[in-house]
Structure 1
Amino acid sequence: MYRKKLLLSTLLAIAFLGYKKDAAAQTNAYKTKVFNENLEEKFANVSPKLTSNNANPLLDFMFTADPTAIEYNGRVYVYATNDHQQYEHVGTDGKNTYEHIRTLVMMSSDDMVNWTYHGLINTAKLAPWSQNSWAPSITSRLEADGKTHFYLYYSNSGIGSAVLTSTSPVGPWKDPLGKNIVDRSVPGVDVDAPFDPGVVIDEQGIGWLTFGGGTPKTKYIPDNARIVRLGADMISLASDVAKIPAPYFFEASDLNFINGTWVYTYNTSWEERTEWPYSNIDKPTKCGISYMTSKTPLDPDSWKYRDNYFKNTGDDNVGPWTNNHTHLFTFKGKYYIAYHAMYLQDYFGTKGGFRNVGIEEMQVDEKNLNIPMGKATFKGPSQITLLNPFVLQQAETTAGTSGQVQFEAVGNAGNMVAKGKADKQCLLMKGADFSKQVPKKFEARVKGKGKIDVYVKDLKGTPLVSLNCDGDNWTTLSEKIKRKIDKEVVNIYLVFEGKNFVFDEWKFMH
C-alpha cells in the first residue's frame, strides 16, 4: 500500500511539474508573442520606412534639405542643409525660418538604399564670421599633390556664398578664405541674395559657379541669376560676373557640364506665367525645376531655355507644397536627381516646414541634352548592389530606423556611433546577401551596458541572436547563432537598448 501511495504521489508530482512546464511555456510564448507584436507596432508608428519598401527620404531620423551630391571611390556622397538644427531650436510648434542653421549634413551610400550618416560640418566653428549655412554644392578635382580635393560651396545666409575645402569627402574641412567667395562687394553681383551656389568643373578642368536670388526686377526675366568662372585655385574669381536670363527664376541655381555643354538648372518662382514667348515649350510649373543650356556661358544671349523637368513635390502629392532645390548627378552610370520634400513632418508631430532629402532615378538624353520630366515619390531609387553582411558595417548605416535614433561623432572625421536609450530603438539594413552562405556568428563593437537583438526578414518571432554588453571600454563581442536561416537576400533589423550603451560596427561570420 505504501508503495502504491508513493507511486501515485510521484505520478501526481510529475503531472504537476508537467503542467507547470506547459503553463510556463505557454506563458513565455504569450509574452514573446505580445512583445513582438508590440515591437512591430511600436516601430511602425514612428517610422515611415522601417516596415515599408520605400527608399525615401534618405535619412528618417532627422530633417535635411537642399541637397548636392558627388561620386567618389564607388560611393555617392550627399550634403544637405541641416533643417534639424532649426527644429531642435524651435520645437514641434515652431517654424522653419532657417536662422538657427549653422551646420551641413553629410551622408553616403554605395547602393542608393542603405545610407551612412557621416555627421555634421560645423560652419559656425569653421567660419565663425559667417551667419548661416544652407544649400551646399560640391565638386572635386585631382590636384598636383596627387590628392583629390573637394570644394564645397554654400549659402552664407542670403548675403553671399562661402567655400570650404578638404582632401576627404567627409572632412576635416577648412575655410580657405575667411570671407565669402561672392557677395554684393564683388562687381557685377548686383542681386539682393547672391546665394544658392551651384558649381561644376568642365572638361578643361575649369571651375564655374552660379548663384543668385532675391527680389526680382521683373516677373518674366527676374534678372537675378549669375555665373562666374573660377580661378585655378577654385577659391577665386577669374572672369566678370555674367547674367543668365532665366525665365521666372526664383532661386536654387545648379550647374552641370554634359556633352560639352553647360546645363543650368533653377527653381522657378510662384508667379503667374503671364508672359511666355515659347510656342513649342510649355510654361514651367510653379516652384518647379527648369533647365537652360549654353556653349558659351559668360554670354547671356547664348543661354537657351529648354524645359521644366521636375515639379514641386506638392504637385506630385509627396508631402505638402514647399520650396524646391535639386541637384542632377550621375552614379555608377545612371542619372539621379536629389531633392527635398516634407516626408517626415507627421512622424515628428510638426507642421513647421521641415524638409527631407529624397532621390529619384532620371533619364537624360546626353546627345540632345533632353531631360524628360521626373517625378517625386516615396518609393525612391532601387537598390543597385546588395549589402554584404560578412564585412564590417557601420552602425550609422541604415535604410530605416525606429524614428529619432541618436548618433554621435567619435574618432576620425565622418565616423559616428549609435547611441542607446532606456527604450528600444531599431536600425534596418535592406538587401543583405545571405544567398551563398549561412552565418554562424554575429559580432559587434560595443561599449556600456546594453543589448542588441538581431532579426532577419522582419521583426516577428524570437531574435536570431542576442548580444549583451556590460563594460566601460570598447570591446568586440560575438555570439553564436542558435537557429538556421535560409540562404536568401533579406533585411536585417538591429533592436538595441541601454541608456549608456553605444555601438560602432557589426558583421556576421561564417
Structure 2
Amino acid sequence: MFRKKVLFITAFAISFLGCKKDVEPQSTLDKSEVVNENLEEKFANVSPKLTSDNASPLLDFIFTADPTAVEYEGRIYVYATNDHQQYEHVGKDGKNGYGHIRTLVMMSSDDMVNWTYHGLINTADLAPWTQNSWAPSITSRLEADGKTHFYLYYSNSGIGTAVLTSTSPVGPWSDPLGKNIVDRSVPGVDVEAPFDPGVLIDDQGAGWLTFGGGTPKTDYMPDNARIVKLGADMISLASDVAKIPAPYFFEASELNFINGTYVYTYNTNWTDRTEWPYGHIDIPTKCNMSYMTSKTPLDPDSWEYRDNYFKNTGEDNVGPWTNNHTHLFKFKEKYYIAYHAMYLQDYFDTKGGFRNVGIEEMQVDEEHVNILMGKATFEGPSQLNPLNPFDLQQAETTAGTSGQVQFEAVGKPGNMVAKGKADKQCLMVRGADFSKQIPAKFEARVKGKGKIDVYVNNLKGAPLVSLICDGKEWATLSEKIERTIDKGVGNIYFVFNGEDLLFDEWKFIN
C-alpha cells in the first residue's frame, strides 16, 4: 500500500464522564455527578471514550481508516477501510500490512457525536475478482428513475480502482463492472498504483475521478496524480486521463467543488523538502494534507498549489505518526474533515499500526476557496443537536462503549444488533434530551436471555430501570420506570449482560 510509518508512543489523557459541552443542559441534571466507580472492575474493558467527553474516534470498538462521507436525508454517512479485519487476522502482536482487508465499514450520524454502526460492505463477496478494499470515496445523485444512486469507489489493493453502486447509503451494494474502472490497462494512467480514488459530481452534474500513487519519479514532482472525467453512468470514462502536477504528492486523492472551483486534496510524501518554488506559501511538512485548485481540471497547467491544511496526526500528538488520508465535507452548514489516527492502540493492547477515523470541524473561506489549517484532537466536534430518547433509537448507535462490544447484522441492510457476552457490556449515547418530557416507561427490542440496566447521566447507584429478557424470538419488552429524573440533557448508559442476549433498538415512553 506504499505506506510508511514512524511510530512513537503517546498517552491518552482520560477525563471523567459528562455531557458534550456544546449541548447545554436545559434544566437541572447535575453534571457534577460523575462516575465514582472503578469502571475497569465494573466492565470487561473500557474505551477511552466511555471515560471522557471525547467525540473521536467515531467508533471505539473497531479499527477504521481512510474515510469518505456523503450526506443523505439529514445524516452524514461515513465509509472507511476496515483495519479491524487485518487486526483480527494478525492479532495484537501483528502488524497492519493491509493484505487481509476485504471489507469496508459503514457508519452514520445526525449530530456528529452519536454514531450508528451499519456494518460491513463485503467486497470479497460482491467483487471476488478484487484483491483488497481500501480507501473508499463516495458520491450520490438523484437519477431519472427518481431514486438517489450512490457510487462508491475504492482501492483494489494497489493495482486499480473498483466501483460499487446502490440506491441506499447502506446497501445492498452491487458490482456493475466486474473489473476496475481504472488500472494500468487504461491509456494515460501510467502510474504504479492507480488507487486511493476521489470522486466528485460538480454543479453541472458531471462526475470526476482522481487517483494515483506509487514510487515517486522525483521527490518534488512525483508525477503520479491523475484525473479523468466520468461518463453519465458514473461507471465509464468520458475523457482522456490527465495529470495533476501535485508537489510532493504521495497518495490519498480526494475532490471537492467549492464556489465553481475544483479542489483537489492529497497526502504529501515523506521525503525531505529540497525544492520549493512557492516562496509565499509554507513548505508542507512530511505526510500532511495539501490542496490545489482549478477551473479546468483536465488542463494540467491550470492547477494551482494553494497550501497545506492538515498536518500528520503524529505531528499534533494525537497518537503515533502514521499515514494521512482525509475527506473534506460540509454538513448542516459546517465544514468538517474526516481523517484517521491511532487513537485506540493502547485500548486494544497493540502497537501494530491500526487506525481509527476521527472528525474535526474546519474553517473554509468559500468566496476565495481557502481551506484554513485544521488540527487533529481527541475531543473532536461538538454535538450539533440533542438526541431524542423518545424516538426509536438503534442499539448500534453509540458515543462510547465498554468491552469492545460486538455487533452482528440482522434483518434489512445496514441494521446491526449488539451482542451480549458473559461479562457486562456498556453502550453509551450522549446528549439525550429529557428537558421537555419525563419518561414513564422504557422499551427495547431484544432476543435471548439476559438483563439490560439503564442509567441516566451517570452509573452511580441503582439503575433507573431494568429489563429482564428471556425469549427465543424477537420481542419488544417494556418496563415501568418507578423513579423520576430531573429535566435536562444527559448521557444514557445501557449495561447489558447475557451471553446469548441480542439488543436491537430502544426508546423511552412518557
TM-score by length of 2: 0.92
Deviations 1:111-160 (A, max 9, x none): 00000000000000000000000000000000000000000000000000
Matches within 5 A, 1:102-117: 102-117=102-117
Matching residue of 2:282: 282
- Larger Rg, first or second structure (1 or 2): 1
C-alpha contact (below 8 Å) 1:44/1:51 kept by paired residues: no
CA shift, 1:403, in A, is: 3.5
CA distance in structure 2 between the aligned counterparts of 1:365 and 1:83, rounded to whole angstroms: 34
SS of the equivalent of 1:125 reads helix
Deviations 1:26-64 (A, max 9, x none): xxxxxxxxx983446545962100121100000000100
C-alpha contact (below 8 Å) 2:149/2:167 kept by paired residues: yes
CA distance in structure 2 between the aligned counterparts of 1:264 and 1:277, rounded to whole angstroms: 19
CA distance in structure 1 between the aligned counterparts of 2:36 and 2:356, rounded to whole angstroms: 30
TM-score by length of 1: 0.92
- Residues 256 and 493 of structure 1: is their aligned pair in 2 closer, same or farther, counting only changes over 3 Å? same
Matching residue of 2:131: 131
Matches within 5 A, 1:103-502: 103-502=103-502
C-alpha contact (below 8 Å) 2:141/2:149 kept by paired residues: yes
SS of the equivalent of 2:346 reads helix
C-alpha contact (below 8 Å) 1:408/1:418 kept by paired residues: yes
C-alpha contact (below 8 Å) 2:360/2:376 kept by paired residues: yes
User: 54-63 or 37-46: which moved more?
Assistant: 37-46
Aligned partner of 1:472: which letter? K
Are 1:506 and 2:506 an aligned pair?
A: yes
Deviations 1:336-393 (A, max 9, x none): 0000000000000000000000000000001101111000000000000110000110
CA distance in structure 2 between the aligned counterparts of 1:43 and 1:268, rounded to whole angstroms: 42
Structure of higher RCO (CA pairs closer than 8 Å, 6+ residues apart): 2
C-alpha contact (below 8 Å) 2:441/2:481 kept by paired residues: yes
Matches within 5 A, 1:6-155: 37-39=37-39, 41-43=41-43, 46-155=46-155
Deviations 1:385-412 (A, max 9, x none): 1100001100000000004100000010
Unaligned runs of 5+ in 2: 1-34
Matching residue of 1:18: none
Matching residue of 1:14: none
- Residues 266 and 44 of structure 1: is their aligned pair in 2 closer, same or farther, counting only changes over 3 Å? farther
CA distance in structure 2 between the aligned counterparts of 1:101 and 1:39, rounded to whole angstroms: 33
Aligned partner of 1:62: which letter? I
C-alpha contact (below 8 Å) 2:44/2:423 kept by paired residues: no
CA distance in structure 2 between the aligned counterparts of 1:332 and 1:277, rounded to whole angstroms: 38
CA distance in structure 1 between the aligned counterparts of 2:46 and 2:449, rounded to whole angstroms: 25
SS of the equivalent of 2:236 reads coil
CA shift, 1:458, in A, is: 1.0
After TM superposition, the runs of 4+ consecutive aligned structure 1 residues lying more than 6 A away are none
- Residues 43 and 365 of structure 1: is their aligned pair in 2 closer, same or farther, counting only changes over 3 Å? farther
Deviations 1:222-241 (A, max 9, x none): 00000000000000000000
SS of the equivalent of 1:171 reads coil
C-alpha contact (below 8 Å) 1:40/1:459 kept by paired residues: no
C-alpha contact (below 8 Å) 2:451/2:496 kept by paired residues: yes
CA distance in structure 2 between the aligned counterparts of 1:191 and 1:464, rounded to whole angstroms: 60
CA distance in structure 2 between the aligned counterparts of 1:197 and 1:64, rounded to whole angstroms: 17
* CA RMSD after TM alignment: 1.1
SS of the equivalent of 2:374 reads coil
CA distance in structure 2 between the aligned counterparts of 1:494 and 1:114, rounded to whole angstroms: 14
CA shift, 1:490, in A, is: 0.6
Unaligned runs of 5+ in 1: 1-34
CA distance in structure 2 between the aligned counterparts of 1:380 and 1:39, rounded to whole angstroms: 23
SS of the equivalent of 1:124 reads helix
CA shift, 1:218, in A, is: 0.6
C-alpha contact (below 8 Å) 1:60/1:403 kept by paired residues: no
CA distance in structure 2 between the aligned counterparts of 1:193 and 1:51, rounded to whole angstroms: 41
Deviations 1:150-173 (A, max 9, x none): 000000000000000000000000
Deviations 1:250-298 (A, max 9, x none): 0000000111110000000000000001110010011000000000000
C-alpha contact (below 8 Å) 1:319/1:343 kept by paired residues: yes
C-alpha contact (below 8 Å) 1:265/1:290 kept by paired residues: yes
C-alpha contact (below 8 Å) 1:36/1:461 kept by paired residues: no
SS of the equivalent of 2:431 reads strand
SS of the equivalent of 1:112 reads coil
Deviations 1:442-493 (A, max 9, x none): 0101110010000011111110000001110111111111111001101000
C-alpha contact (below 8 Å) 1:292/1:307 kept by paired residues: yes
- Residues 502 and 348 of structure 1: is their aligned pair in 2 closer, same or farther, counting only changes over 3 Å? same
Percent identity over the alignment is 85
CA shift, 1:309, in A, is: 0.3
CA distance in structure 2 between the aligned counterparts of 1:460 and 1:40, rounded to whole angstroms: 15
- Residues 44 and 435 of structure 1: is their aligned pair in 2 closer, same or farther, counting only changes over 3 Å? farther
C-alpha contact (below 8 Å) 2:43/2:424 kept by paired residues: no
CA distance in structure 2 between the aligned counterparts of 1:45 and 1:445, rounded to whole angstroms: 25
- Tell me how many residue pairs correspond in the alignment: 476
CA distance in structure 1 between the aligned counterparts of 2:386 and 2:459, rounded to whole angstroms: 20
Aligned partner of 1:292: which letter? M
